Every structure is written in structure tokens, then in C-alpha cells.
Amino acid sequence: MSAEFKHITVLLNEAVDTLVDDPDGFYIDGTFGRGGHSALVLSRLSAQGQLMGIDKDPEAIACAAERFGDDPRFSIERGSFAQLEAFVRQRELAGKVDGVLLDLGVSSPQLDDPNRGFSFMADGPLDMRMNPDVGESVAEWLAHAAEKEIADVLYTYGEERHSRRMARAIVNEREQEPIVTTGRLAKIITEANPAWEKGKNPATRAFQGIRIFINRELEDLEDCLDQALEVLKPGGRLVVISFHSLEDRIVKRFIRKYVKGDEHLPPGIPVTDDMLNIRLKAVGKAVKAGREEVSDNPRSRSAVMRVAKKVR
């Protein structure tokens, strides 16, 4: 990996410490990225332990081959973590997985490389796909999306209060000339934003919302969480690091749902845990990056890690 696009892994020790409790186990890094978490997991595994990585990004796949291609304990699958169960079943390991790790969001190399089209800080082609071989780029989507659809994406996924003004500006500007670069889109959004937040680029929320939509990040997360529960063995751990309130809300609700179990039973009836179908136990409280980590890596400031253990 070039120093220019170096990735600093967030909550590295905290995540791996709680994930790996059996050096002979089978673990999944559902968001391989540039292999920071995977490297530490492998250092904790015995010769019998196994780690499967998953990533959409062809550059992440190339990084995996370069870093761990000679390690027989490691394998990598190109695709979404929403395909987790299929990858596990190919190995005939459903219900036998010791731990699943998800480090959500976009990696630093993706953000920092203007050619990937994620960043409003440097001009580049307007793409934002984590897997550039699948689906529409942002430029392609903006060329045909209705004004209401654009506004809904900015509001729902970016939590942008001025979504309608921004969508109207985008539609007006594309009639003059196609919007094909990050710099032009950032300029349009910035000029349409009437209330800049202190310390935050005016295009931040809009770019974030569009990226989440284009990559189906929330839908894939919901699918993956359900599948992780099925592939984990009893006692297996689910570790999720979120960087966005919408992601963290999904994870929090998922864990709470299966910690509580079935809630349809009439009140006052004595029930056992088996009758409630409790499937998860929360492990500790939500963990955030400490001051030192935030100082070294400002992108870690919004990170929230939640952990759950499968009961049955």
C-alpha cells in the first residue's frame, strides 16, 4: 500500500481482543479494507485457525493477495458482506463460525484517492462505488434521478436538512451541463447550503448520504447482521464498528431485538429463556475511540463499537 493512501485501522486492539477467544477458531473479517484488523487476528490464531476476508473493492482484494497470499490460514472473497452466509456455506461452516467483525463505512484509501470519487476535498470523477464493476456511478445516477429522489436520498441517508434546496440546485445545474466530477457537485451543494456547520464542510452530509445510497450500505448491513446470527456458533461473537448514526442505530436495534427475545407473549405468564427465543447477549457497553487515538486519527472520532455473543 502506498504511503499516499495509508489506512489507519480504528479500534484495532479493542475489536480483535473481544473477537478472538479461540486461536483454533474460524473468523470472518467482513470488511477487509487494507487488512489492519485481519493482520492482528492472524497474529492471534494458531496454525489450525482460519480467517476469511470479504470486500467489494478490487484494490482491497489485491492488497489481501499481497499481504496474506502466502498464509494458508487466510482466504478472501470478493463481494458484499451481505453474501456472508453464502460464502460460509460454500465452506460448509454454517453454525460453526467463532466470530464476525464488521468495520463499516469507507476506508481512508478510498476517501483519499480522488480517482475513486468519494471525496469533496479533491476533484475527481464522480463515482463513489466501492465495487466499480457493479451498479451505477453517482454521475450516472444524477443524470436521470428525479429531484424528489435526490432530495429523499440526501435527507434519509445524509440527514441533510437542506436536501430539497440542494436537489433543486443539482437538477438546475445538470440541465446546463452534466455533473461528472466531485468538485462540481461539491460546489453546487456548498452554494445551495444556507447554514454551514462550524468545523464541517458544507458538502459533508450530502456526499455521505449519496455514498451510502449508491453502495446500498444500510440494506447490506441489515442483511449481513441477520446472516451473521445464523452462521455464528453458540458463544460466537459479533463485533461491529460504526461511523454513522444510521448504521449504529441498525446495529443497536438488532442486538437489542435478539437480547430481549420474543415480546409477543402475554404479560404475567411465567416463561423461560428458551420460550423467549433469546439469541444474543450484549457484551459490555458501546466502545468509542480514546483521546489518543482520535488525536492520531481524527476519522476515529465518530467510531462506535458494539459487541454481542450468540446464545443459541
Which residues fall in the annotated binding site for S-adenosyl-L-methionine?
35-37, 55, 81, 103, 110
SS3 labels along the chain = CCHHHCCCCCCHHHHHHHHCCCCCCEEEECCCCCCHHHHHHHHHCCCCCEEEEEECCHHHHHHHHHHHCCCCCEEEEECCHHHHHHHHHHCCCCCCEEEEEEECCCCHHHHHCHHHCCCCCCCCECCCCCCCCCCCCHHHHHHHCCHHHHHHHHHHHHCCCCHHHHHHHHHHHHHHCCCCEHHHHHHHHHHHCCCCCCCCCCCHHHHHHHHHHHCCHHHHHHHHHHHHHHHEEEEEEEEEEECCHHHHHHHHHHHHHHHHCCCCCCCCCCCCHHHHCCCEEECCCCEECCHHHHHHCHHHCCCEEEEEEECC
Binding residues: 35-37, 55, 81, 103, 110
Strands 232-242 and 280-282: unpaired
The cell numbers describing 12, all together, are 484495532
- Measure the CA angle with vertex 158, ends 292 and 221; round to 5°: 75
Pick from 308, 311, 312: which is nearest to 239 by CA?
308
Q: How many CA atoms lie within 13 A of 244 on its CB side?
A: 21
